[in-house]
Amino acid sequence: MLQEQNLTQRPVDFSQKPRIFAEFISTEQEIRSAQKMRYEVFCEEYKVELPVNMIWNGHPIDVDDLDDHCLHLVVRSQMSGEIIGYTRVLTCDLAKRFGRYYSSHEFNIENVINRPGRFLEIGRTCIHPEHRNGATIAVLWAFLARFMQENNYQYLFGCASVSLEDGGQTLAALTPIIREKYMANDEFRVTPKVPFKLRTGIKEGKASFPPLLKAYTRMGARICGEACWDPDFNVADLFVLLDINNVANRYARHFLKDREAA
Share of the chain above pLDDT 90, in %: 63
- Tell me the three state secondary structure of residue 22: strand
- Residue 53 has a CB neighbour count (10 Å cut-off) of 11
pLDDT per position as a tens digit, 126-168: 999 999 888 898 899 889 988 998 999 999 999 999 999 888 8
Which residues are CB-contacts of 225 (< 8 A; sequence separation ≥ 6)? 107, 183, 184, 189, 190, 191, 192, 239
- Amino acid sitting at position 126: C
Q: List, in order of start, the domains of the chain with CATH numbers.
A: 15-246 (3.40.630.30)
Note the pLDDT tens digit of each residue in 22-40: 999 999 999 999 999 999 9
Task: Read off the pTM.
Answer: 0.86
pLDDT bracket for residue 208 (50, 70, 90) = confident
- Cα–Cα–Cα angle for 153, 158, 161, nearest 5°? 160
